[in-house]
Amino acid sequence: MKKKERHQLLRQLVQQETIRKQEDFVNKLLDRGIEVTQATISRDIKELQLIKVPAKDGGYQYNLPPEMNYNISKKLGRLMKDAFVSIDTQKEFVLVKTLPGNAFALGTLIETANYKEVFGCISGDDTVLIICRDEESAERFQRRIISFI
C-alpha cells in the first residue's frame, strides 16, 4: 500500500462513510487490512487538505476540500449540458462521447466526484471511458450521468 493509493482510498472513504475523527479513518483502513497510525492519517489529511466540518447534528465530520467538494455536480451538469454527445454501456464500461476537446475536463470531473460506482476513467479528446465496478454500477452510473442533461 503506497501513500498515493491510501490517499485515493481516503478520498473515497470520506465520501462513502461518516468519518468523525482520524481514528475512524484508521479503523476503516484496518477493516480493509491496511495498517496505519493516526499520525499518518493526520499527515495525509494535511496533504489532501481534508477538512473537519462542524455538522448540523452536533458532531463533526471530515470532508473533501471545499473547492473540490463544492458543486462538482453543478460543474458536471454545466459541462454535460454543453458538451454531451452520446453515452453507451457495455458490461462494466461506460463510454461517453463529448464535443471535441471536452472529454478530458469531463473525465477529470468524474474522477474528482469520486462516484462509488466508478473504478477509474480514461479520457481522450472527445471520449471518456469509465470503468465501473461491475455491470450494475455501470448502469447506475449511466443513469446518474444522463440525469445531468
Binding site for DNA (CB under 7 A): 1-3, 6, 21-23, 35-40, 42-43, 45-46, 52, 54, 59-60
Rounded to whole angstroms, what are the CA distances from 110 to 44, 61, 116?
Answer: 22, 23, 11
Cβ closer to a second copy: 13 or 118?
Answer: 13
* Residue at 129: amino acid letter: L
Identity of the residue, 2 or 56, whose beta carbon is nearer to DNA in the bound complex: 2
Buried-state track 45-62, b at ≥16 Cβ within 10 A, e below 16: beebebeeeeeeeeeebb
Which listed option, DNA, a second copy, none, makes contact with residue 40 (CB within 5 to 8 Å by class)? DNA
User: At a CB cut-off of 8 Å and minimum separation 6, what does 70 contact?
Assistant: none
Q: Which residues touch 92 (CB under 8 Å, ≥6 apart)?
A: 119, 131, 132, 133, 134, 135, 137, 138
- Return the CA Rg of the chain: 17
Shortest spacing between CB 5 and DNA, in angstroms: 9
Give the footprint of a second copy on this chain (CB under 8 A): 45-54, 60, 63, 65-67, 69-71
Least CB distance to DNA at residue 96 (A)? 33
User: Where are the extended beta strands (E) located within 22-75?
Assistant: 51-54, 60-63
Shorter beta-carbon distance to a second copy: residue 4 or 56:
56
> 24 or 139, CB closer to DNA?
24
Give the one entry of DNA, a second copy, none that residue 35 binds, where binding means its C-beta sits below a cut-off of 5 to 8 angstroms depending on kind: DNA
Binder of residue 66, out of DNA, a second copy, none (CB less than 5 to 8 A by kind):
a second copy
Query: Considering the complex, what minimum distance in angstroms separates the CB of residue 79 from a second copy?
Result: 16
Instruction: Give the span between the Cα atoms of 80 and 95, in whole angstroms.
Output: 14
